[in-house]
Structure 1
């Protein structure tokens, strides 16, 4: 398991192909889902939100991975 990515989100035993989405990507996607539910009340331009949202989602994902290590 990679500490940076958390390893594959949905590993398939014996599968020698692609591991697919990482756990970090999975956590970030769920963070994005939560952020988008509050999008209507967000202040700022669409462009500002578009630039900030990925960084916020991956920062949340990194925090979740760090917490998992405890």
Structure 2
């Protein structure tokens, strides 16, 4: 089981951060991910596999730049 934004989430099988985000319709270009207390660079999303006990905070960017 992992925790995402404070909610417990069960995974049926090992998946990468990128796969988890895609399955949950996150728009990669509009989010930042903190994993176990550290910012996870976007370039690593496909290389990092989620494991039992991991904690993710997914933050969405809202608004526009002027």
TM-score bracket, shorter-length normalisation = under 0.3
Q: Report which of the two has the higher share of helix.
A: 1
Higher relative contact order (CA 8 A, sep 6+): 2
Normalised TM-score (structure 2)? 0.26
Structure with a larger share of its residues in strand: 2
Report the structure number with the largest CA radius of gyration. Answer: 1
TM-score, normalising length from structure 1? 0.25
